[in-house]
Structure 1
């Protein structure tokens, strides 16, 4: 009979997020996570054999939480048209919590350096884009809305820009307007003026 598990896996991941927020993903150590959680390093090693496995688990949990929140918002629309993209817009009306912003910023840095972690995000994006395109009355409009929405969220997550609340709400309403747009894919790109 094995030992009874005393430490909750989520508590270890919470501690890892705190270390990522404070020190960055590159400087995360299993010792720092154990200290943050108030447990021994062996307990961290029980679930996460390496630093890479721990960071992967933090990313996996963040993606799962984001997907669950977006799914809940989509389901709250109760069968309205274009529910997948509109649910994501509704979800974006709640900005990232301040205590998760530093985690998100530092995880983005980790993703830039790790092809395996990027692969997890790429697969998730492929799934999301496929679902919103399949659900949309105007697939191109929904894709443009998604690009605008993700651009807004990325600028905020990377701490490049923050809009005042009233302007942010207006931008989200305008992104929502894009959902049913019928873009002209044949419109020419701008050309530079020749002298």
Structure 2
């Protein structure tokens, strides 16, 4: 009888958490099995190699990126405002898989880097349609910087109040870029 998909997701969630918390090198098969509460054999049933876990994690990233790009394209306030507003760490499934995959990109995992490049290209295309090609990267870098700083400054109570002010300031800058 096949194992429940819940166990597979628990293993993938454990891998994602370990990537976020301790990085790629420490996210070993043994550590993932311990974190997921499964035997190593149970882990290997679902993911015979670490690369197999990475592959499924990148599929998860692709799903979240596709949903984000679709939401960005449909945003009534425009792609740039959506991008800025969504560039605050909120511990969402998108945030978690994004940061986990970032840990893979840090060690030059080529497929992860390719997926990030594709996601960034999709965002840039929508931003260029909203604020023009010359300003699209400026908005991308604004959002990236906001995300990074919000992630670093996040405490147990959530993002600091100044992040909200930063978002408003960046939205005002986006409006100026549209002119």
Q: Which has the higher contact order (CA 8 A, sep 6+)?
A: 2
CA–CA distance in 1 between the matches of 2:89 and 2:32? 27
User: Which residue is equivalent to 2:29?
Assistant: 30
**Would you identify which runs of 4 or more consecutive aligned residues in structure 1 move more than 6 Å?**
98-103, 160-163
User: Which residue is equivalent to 1:21?
Assistant: 20
Gaps of 5+ in 2: none
User: Which residue is equivalent to 2:120?
Assistant: 125
The question of whether the paired residues in 2 share the 8 Å contact of 1:19 and 1:28 is answered with yes
Q: Secondary structure at the match of 1:34?
A: helix
Q: What is the total number of aligned residue pairs between the two structures?
A: 172
| Residues 72-119 of structure 1, C-alpha deviations (whole Å, 9 max, x = no match) | 354342xx6xx3333222322x43329997876564342121223211
CA–CA distance in 2 between the matches of 1:41 and 1:20? 18
Normalised by the length of structure 2, the TM-score is 0.73
Change (3 A) 1:175 1:26: farther
Normalised by the length of structure 1, the TM-score is 0.68
Q: Secondary structure at the match of 1:28?
A: coil
CA RMSD of aligned residues (A): 3.3
Residue 44 of structure 1 and its aligned partner are, at CA, apart by 2.1
